[in-house]
Structure 1
Amino acid sequence: MYTLLALVFTYPLVLHLNTHVIGPFRGDNFEYVWKMWWVPHALFERGISPFLHPDVYYPFGYPLAYGEITPAHTFLLTPLTILVGEIAAYNIAILASVVLSGWLMYLLALRFGESPSLLAGRGLGRGKLAAAFFVGAAFAFSAYQMARIAGHLPLIDTHWLVLTLIGLDRWLQTRRLRDALLIGIGFSLSALSSWYYAFMLVLLLPVYVLAYGELRDLLPDKCTWFALVLVGVIVAVMCLPFLLPYLQIDAEGAATIPLDEAQFWAASPLDYVLPNARQPLWGAAVQRIGWPFPGDMPYEFMTVSIGWVTLLLGVIGWRRTKGGSWRALKWLMIVAFILSLGPTLTFGRLPLGLPLPARLLREILPFADGIRSWGRFSIFVMLGASLLAGTGLAVLERYRRRTAVAFGVTALLLFSSWNGAAELVSVSPRPVDLWLAEQPERFAIMQYPLEEALSGPAMLYTRYHQKPVVFGYGTYFPFLFRERHPELLDFPADDSLDLLASWDVRYVLVTINQLGNTPFTLADVDAQPRLRHVITLENEAVYELLP
């Protein structure tokens, strides 16, 4: 059923698996399609390390650690990419993650629903399957998940977070090494999907263990130390080879996010209680509340919404649950909620100036100053709210038609989570890429405006024209690029052209329809005697940089 729902929520993607990805934007989705192509291409066609692309950020080379490498997709899915191509492999990964998130949450809900402390010792009762299905649907089709499918491939793999929690909760009850093995595998795959998730788990799993309430028994138990060693070995073997490039970047001081940037992308308490901001019936009104500024509300702020159905049932469930697992889950949610608010408290994008724990963590924890979006901690709030909502739904057992009521509530949940037909974008070369590919000799390319160069699509287009580019893209790279090469901000001034010439740039591409907010006009470019207009292909004007 989760598979069918995934196909419905992403329709018509299933009809275009080889040619399109979910949009509506061309952004990070194109970046990760490129990375899924680049890794097998580097390994098996060029025979070089995929961790450094020599022809991106030319002539220096581009370490992929400037952004998410997401090895769970780019490396582990290499056989699939070779078999079906990078576009289809990307889409299959998106669909599979939604299905697996629903299924594993279903299993976790069944486990939590067996708690003898729930409903006066009766667990979820005969309606537990319907309640567990609801939990899986609430999580898999949450606002967080449905925003991530538009391009955040590393963050869509929330099923590994659920697997880790299943393993931890089982181990706390059994102390079996096979459950510790599950923790290690779940944690490692979470980390290999996104280092964000590794950072979150490092902070939140100890909270779960402490709140579970058996620390005095755990510390002297040798099974605890065997389990820690086993988990540590698994994580080291699976993750260390992919962590080393990031350690190098961090040592160079190149993995730091400015404080104001980290604060901008933090969540607000209001974001949690607003309904789905992309639902066709009420989404526009919600966005005007959550984003009272000109322009569209960024997708990142739409990911935090719990949804009113889940929120209401979750409040009921909060009051009806007790015991070690539920207590641990609630504390995990509380800590995740506080961290999701970022370094300083805001309300509805209005800064309140109150420092929060995330600000202290940026000062004292390794890698914490590299976190760009603290709001992503909200996934753990959503995970807990979904489980609690399942227990809230279980109260409907008192009704004779409990199955029909549960079906109706689940249908209401899915309707409120639905964003309409998925907007697809074609993954294909631009006419200018085909023209560049036909040009003889080896030369480098620059793109303006800078926002067009420092973007996911610009990375993908290198796959088609196969020419060196002097720019790149990733989580940290746009900050570094502007900081390292401020003269490029003065294009088309001579100092910017001098630097480009030293990098063997022959052609400068100017995206005509994106010049509205740039400090220069197309007339300024035409007036620069060192730039000769060669050709215009659709929105791309091509200029040759003269000696």
Structure 2
Amino acid sequence: MNRKNIPAKNIAWALGQTLYFIILTLAFTRPLYRQLATHVAGSLGDNLYFIWQIGWFKQALFDLGQLPLRSNLLNFPYGYNLATTEIAPLQLAFAMPFALSGNYVLGYNVSILLTFVLAGLSMSCWVQHLSGSRMAGLVSGTAYAFLPYHMAHFLSGHLNISAIQWFPLFFWGLSGMLTEDGKNRRNIWLAAAGLSGIALTSQYYLYLTALVSALILLVYFLFLRRERFLEWRLWKQFLITGLISLPALAVGVVPYMLVHEGAGLARTLADVMVFSASPSDFLLPFTRQFLWGKWVGQHFSRDLWNEATLYLGLPLTVLAVLGYAKRRKSGRQLLFAVFLTGFISSLILALGTNLTWNEQAVAFSASSWLAKIFKNEQRLITLPGYLFFKYVPFYAIMRAWMRMGVLVLMFNCAAAGLGLDWLCRQARKPVHGTWLGLAALALVLVDFYVKPNSLSEVQPREVDLWLAEQPYGGQVQLPLKQSYEEAALYYTLYSQKPLIGVIRTFPSNRYFELEPLLRNFPDETSLAALQAQQLTYVVLDEKVYTVDNAFIDRCEALGMHFAVEMDGQAVFILPGADD
């Protein structure tokens, strides 16, 4: 074979793979491709907050010429530090070219759809490198890109959690350092690229990566390659990886830590117990699977589907088990030991603080022998995650332990590719191996394929466009709960009137202080409470308030001015604000 043809063939394969994953992405997320600029998949919720982030970053950087970490559009009049929750700056960067034209929805959709393509490519390249088989890489990449976990978070609007594409790069580099003797610059750059991507995407994922990596290293140095513990060449690779990743770690982590350190934002055990994954979550197919998903939803509790969808995949798991069983014959004992350690560590973390089954906590009777082991009033079977929750720094800030199952799924996908590679090599003729690979690909696609997704239109209200033309002033959306919903945050991009609310993940004390005072609006108590917040505009949802002549008279008797009524919203101006 002419060596000059090899790069050309590699380029053709890379382009073909990319096109393949683009086509599959459009198929799995259908019919979103028809309305990318105006709609999002699933219901409106967290997706609106990420669209708001995209819009605010664009406005801050390109219109106002300021750093976007703090916004004056929320938490009026104090402003809002975006590091209070996850920012996902890298995903925002992917959206920015489209946001520059003012189409924030298009930017969001392109950014989240890109996670499918990049996830497939990163896993495919990793497994192809390990096995030398393009077919094995393609099957693993397909499975990883379109995991039900990925689809669930895509439909939930979790732009940060959907960005699973960086894990294969990091663990490709890390596992290479641990299984390949000698220094390999490729492993350093892969691990650094993956770690940087994770740091600039999700603090959940960064924390998970650090924990699982530490557990892998602990097992590696204690049981697998104890002699390498004092090997400077290995530690030098870790050090260089950290130094290369340092800028991304600083950007992604430091603001978050400064906000949360000593801020009292740790969760209570009661808040997080419900988010402990159940073993059944890894066994149950996605409720949106096009053949048997509906049956799963009818016979099992899937109320937390957006977090608890952790299905491993039956064909995929069979291949992974096969790969593990044949690890000695394939010369991959150490690699599979690393995979298994990561798999088990992630599984333990995902199971959370206590054992559950079918989204219900498993409790024992007071007379059970388990009562002598697990001494707690709720009679729950506590897991290692409970100790992490109590004693590991920053662990209690997190909530959805189920998300830690993503690495269980990642290691399963990688192992499945190696299992398929071994199986295909047993074929007498190469064409038979190809057919085996295509059959495995078809089984994975059938197992994961979903029915068409619902779409939701994203657009500002008429009242927001009206507010944009009014003098500057703070606003509140009543009932107060709506001021803390993602939709209200999104609307500020167009009204340009700062909102009293913030993201509801960590509601401020101000909400709990104001909410009882505003229940009987309009009255003197609610008026005084609103004026104390230096607000100008009160926007009322007419689905909750009957804004008739009598209601308007009561407001005007208190000194408020009725401004406008449109789009199911009524706007009043507080006394003194329009002078």
For the aligned pair, the TM-score class normalised by the smaller chain equals 0.7 to 0.9
Q: 1:219 to 1:533 in 2, by over 3 A?
A: same
Q: 1:167 to 1:480 in 2, by over 3 A?
A: farther
Match of 1:321 in 2: 327
Alignment counterpart, residue 139 of structure 1, candidates 144, 169, 172: 144
Q: What is the alpha-carbon distance in structure 2 between the residues aligned to residue 58 and residue 25 of structure 1?
A: 27
In the alignment, does 2:92 pair up with 1:74? yes
Q: What is the alpha-carbon distance in structure 1 between the residues aligned to residue 225 and residue 337 of structure 2?
A: 14
- Describe the SS at the equivalent of 2:536: strand
Letter in 2 for 1:505: L
In the alignment, does 2:107 pair up with 1:101? no
- Describe the SS at the equivalent of 1:428: coil
Q: 1:235 to 1:393 in 2, by over 3 A?
A: closer
Match of 2:216 in 1: 208
- Describe the SS at the equivalent of 1:18: coil
Alignment counterpart, residue 250 of structure 2, candidates 240, 249, 252: 240
Query: Unaligned stretches of 5+ in structure 1?
Result: 115-127
Q: What is the alpha-carbon distance in structure 2 between the residues aligned to residue 89 and residue 199 of structure 1?
A: 27
Structure 1 residue 326 displacement after superposition: 0.7
Larger mean Cα displacement after TM superposition, 313-322 or 148-157? 313-322
Alignment counterpart, residue 453 of structure 2, candidates 422, 425, 435: 422
Q: 1:504 to 1:100 in 2, by over 3 A?
A: same
Q: 1:261 to 1:481 in 2, by over 3 A?
A: farther
Match of 2:280 in 1: 270
Q: 1:391 to 1:239 in 2, by over 3 A?
A: closer
Q: What is the alpha-carbon distance in structure 2 between the residues aligned to residue 496 and residue 252 of structure 1?
A: 33
In the alignment, does 2:396 pair up with 1:369? yes
State the TM-score, normalizing by the size of structure 1.
0.87
Of all paired residues, the percent bearing the same amino acid is: 28
Alignment counterpart, residue 497 of structure 2, candidates 463, 467, 489: 467
Q: Given that residues 448 and 511 in structure 1 are in contact (C-alpha distance below 8 angstroms), is that contact kept between their aligned partners in structure 2? A: yes
Q: 1:205 to 1:372 in 2, by over 3 A?
A: same
In the alignment, does 2:529 pair up with 1:499? yes
Letter in 2 for 1:364: Y
- Describe the SS at the equivalent of 2:200: helix
Larger mean Cα displacement after TM superposition, 487-496 or 85-94? 487-496
Q: Write out aligned runs for 1:216-231 (5 A).
A: 216-231=226-241
In the alignment, does 2:365 pair up with 1:355? no
Q: What is the alpha-carbon distance in structure 2 between the residues aligned to residue 142 and residue 18 of structure 1?
A: 25
Number of aligned pairs? Answer: 522
Alignment counterpart, residue 165 of structure 2, candidates 159, 166, 171: 159
Match of 1:443 in 2: 473
Structure 1 residue 525 displacement after superposition: 7.4
Q: What is the alpha-carbon distance in structure 2 between the residues aligned to residue 217 and residue 229 of structure 1?
A: 19
Q: Given that residues 200 and 251 in structure 2 are in contact (C-alpha distance below 8 angstroms), is that contact kept between their aligned partners in structure 1? A: no
Q: 1:479 to 1:260 in 2, by over 3 A?
A: farther
Q: 1:521 to 1:132 in 2, by over 3 A?
A: same
Rg comparison, structure with higher value: 2
Structure 1 residue 102 displacement after superposition: 0.8
Q: 1:424 to 1:526 in 2, by over 3 A?
A: same
In the alignment, does 2:47 pair up with 1:29? yes
Q: Write out aligned runs for 1:120-139 (5 A).
A: 128-139=133-144
Larger mean Cα displacement after TM superposition, 81-90 or 367-376? 81-90
Letter in 2 for 1:104: S
In the alignment, does 2:154 pair up with 1:149? yes
- Describe the SS at the equivalent of 1:156: coil
Q: Given that residues 199 and 253 in structure 2 are in contact (C-alpha distance below 8 angstroms), is that contact kept between their aligned partners in structure 1? A: no
Match of 2:265 in 1: 255
- Describe the SS at the equivalent of 2:86: coil
Q: What is the alpha-carbon distance in structure 1 between the residues aligned to residue 509 and residue 193 of structure 2?
A: 34
Structure 1 residue 38 displacement after superposition: 1.2
In the alignment, does 2:309 pair up with 1:300? no
Q: 1:162 to 1:543 in 2, by over 3 A?
A: same
Structure 1 residue 284 displacement after superposition: 2.9
Structure 1 residue 204 displacement after superposition: 0.7
Structure 1 residue 258 displacement after superposition: 3.0
Cα displacement string for residues 368-411 of structure 1 (whole angstroms, at most 9, x for unaligned residues):
11112110011111111212333444436556744334323322
Cα displacement string for residues 69-88 of structure 1 (whole angstroms, at most 9, x for unaligned residues):
11112357545643684332
Match of 2:64 in 1: 46
Q: What is the alpha-carbon distance in structure 2 between the residues aligned to residue 358 and residue 184 of structure 1?
A: 28
Q: What is the alpha-carbon distance in structure 2 between the residues aligned to residue 452 and residue 280 of structure 1?
A: 35
Q: What is the alpha-carbon distance in structure 1 between the residues aligned to residue 164 and residue 49 of structure 2?
A: 20
Match of 2:410 in 1: 383
Structure 1 residue 221 displacement after superposition: 1.9
- Describe the SS at the equivalent of 2:100: helix
Cα displacement string for residues 329-372 of structure 1 (whole angstroms, at most 9, x for unaligned residues):
11111111111111222111211211222222122222111112
Structure 1 residue 90 displacement after superposition: 1.9
Q: What is the alpha-carbon distance in structure 2 between the residues aligned to residue 113 and residue 320 of structure 1?
A: 13
Cα displacement string for residues 36-77 of structure 1 (whole angstroms, at most 9, x for unaligned residues):
121132122112231111231101111101221111123575
Q: 1:254 to 1:290 in 2, by over 3 A?
A: farther
Match of 1:11 in 2: 30
Q: What is the alpha-carbon distance in structure 2 between the residues aligned to residue 195 and residue 437 of structure 1?
A: 35
Match of 1:176 in 2: 184
Letter in 1 for 2:173: G
Q: 1:237 to 1:392 in 2, by over 3 A?
A: closer
Larger mean Cα displacement after TM superposition, 129-138 or 376-385? 129-138
Q: What is the alpha-carbon distance in structure 2 between the residues aligned to residue 287 and residue 301 of structure 1?
A: 15
Q: 1:331 to 1:527 in 2, by over 3 A?
A: farther
In the alignment, does 2:126 pair up with 1:90? no
Letter in 2 for 1:63: N
Q: 1:288 to 1:450 in 2, by over 3 A?
A: farther
Letter in 2 for 1:355: T
Q: What is the alpha-carbon distance in structure 1 between the residues aligned to residue 177 and residue 397 of structure 2?
A: 32
Q: What is the alpha-carbon distance in structure 2 between the residues aligned to residue 488 and residue 418 of structure 1?
A: 50
- Describe the SS at the equivalent of 1:155: coil
Structure 1 residue 305 displacement after superposition: 1.6
Letter in 2 for 1:13: L
Structure 1 residue 486 displacement after superposition: 5.2
- Describe the SS at the equivalent of 1:354: coil
Structure 1 residue 485 displacement after superposition: 4.5
